[in-house]
Chain A
Amino acid sequence: MSLGFEEIERYSRQILLQQVGGKGQEKLLASKVLLVGAGGLGSPASMYLAAAGVGTIGLIDGDKVDLTNLQRQIVHFTDDIGTPKVESAAAKLKAINPAVNVETYEALALADNILGIVSRYDFIIDGTDNFPAKFLINDACHFAGVPFSHAGILRFDGQLFTVIPGETACYRCLFGGPPPANAVPSCSQAGVLGGVAGVIGCLQATEALKYLLGVGELLTDRMLIFDALSMRFREAKFRRNPRCPLCGENPTITELRDEEQIACDLKAAKA
């Protein structure tokens, strides 16, 4: 494949980079990145990937655009309220870069569909907002052997790290095995400052691009932690856990499983 004149123009600012060049751009155009979640993190991440010329971008999200999303999910606009998020996002990505092939999956990421979808891509971005989904993506990427960027945001904080399955620490190396069958994950509503979603989502896109280009050091075996209030980044190092139930020496997780429905109300003891 060689780049056309318009492509050279469009991507000139990154082709100029020594670590990219025409060859790097061609790599991006031939690459496929899947974003699980077209929300706070998926919005900025997908836009930067489209802009950079990642040839195929997959979006999986079962929700429709809601008014409460607009404070931070910047790929969605006011007129998109009620539209499936993947459609709303796809339209903007194609407007940013018509050459990008956008594959949409209007569905929840679940055990019975995620493995097949993940296997079709080169890199996965976890843009989900709940723990069970993060474990599911971690496990699916492990079984499919596809690297991914884990991230999470809450209030004024964000965290992210990259996993190369079989080589670097995974989410379960840090946070352990699945709950018993009769356990339900708890949740609580909390806010998030929009800009934090932007910071972390953009970092995820950056990691994806670095991986695809084969440049720089990936954020593996270390978590980047962002505290917006103090404007500080810090790094927490860790290693693969030999007792990890997924990627350790004696794995106990051998297949994907969905957790029970999330419980948003704790049973409260009466005062």
Chain B
Amino acid sequence: MIVISAKILDDIVAHAREEQPNEACGLLAGVESTVGQSYRLTNVDGSPEHFSLDIREQFAAVKEMRAAGLEMLAVYHSHPATPARMSAEDLRLAFTPGIAYVIVSLADPDQPVVKSFRILDGSPIEEQVSIQELEQ
């Protein structure tokens, strides 16, 4: 399972909305399975149907994470018009082992959906997303 704070969840949904009609993408970092930080990265493809992370930004983000004592927990991207499911291409390009693949769907603009998947022996299996309310 992956634990994401309400604030970060809001942020990745906002990112997805801002990048419409294109797919937004970024990284989530944290400790164990709790995400503490999100990183918005540029979608080099600039497309409503494809995304690629900018490699330089990827290297920079990973170093920032490491300096903050965090590790990469997930890559997130948005589906501006389709459900929060890993497409065959999403799956084919899911090379990084050991992380979650988070998808934000804006298919229903009033009800964004965020799902997380782990790749098990080449198959995407949905996992629980827990929303962490930060203590006031």
A: residues with CB less than 8 A from B are: 131-132, 135, 152, 154, 159, 174-177, 179-180, 182-186, 188, 223, 225, 234-238, 259, 263, 265-269, 271
Contacts and interface: CB of A to CB of B under 8 A. Distances in A.
24 contacts: A154-B126, A174-B118, A175-B127, A177-B33, A179-B33, A179-B34, A182-B133, A183-B132, A184-B130, A184-B133, A186-B114, A186-B129, A186-B131, A223-B125, A259-B130, A263-B131, A265-B111, A266-B9, A266-B111, A267-B6, A267-B10, A268-B110, A268-B111, A268-B112
Q: Which 10 A-B pairs have the closest CB atoms?
A: A269-B14, A236-B121, A131-B128, A179-B130, A183-B130, A236-B120, A183-B132, A269-B13, A236-B123, A186-B129
Interface in B81-114: 84, 109-114
B31 to A, nearest CB: 11
Contacts of B134: 182
Contacts of A265: 111
Contact of A269 (B17, B121, B125, B127): B17
A185 B114 CA distance: 12
A265 B122 CA distance: 30
Nearest to B132: A183
Interface of chain A, helix or strand or loop or mixed? mixed
Given A266-B114, A268-B112, A180 B9 contact: no
A243 to B, nearest CB: 10
Given A182-B132, A188-B113, A267-B9, A238 B3 contact: no
B32 interface: yes
A269 B10 contact: yes
Nearest to A172: B1
Given A182-B132, A183-B3, A188-B113, A177 B32 contact: yes
A220 to B, nearest CB: 14
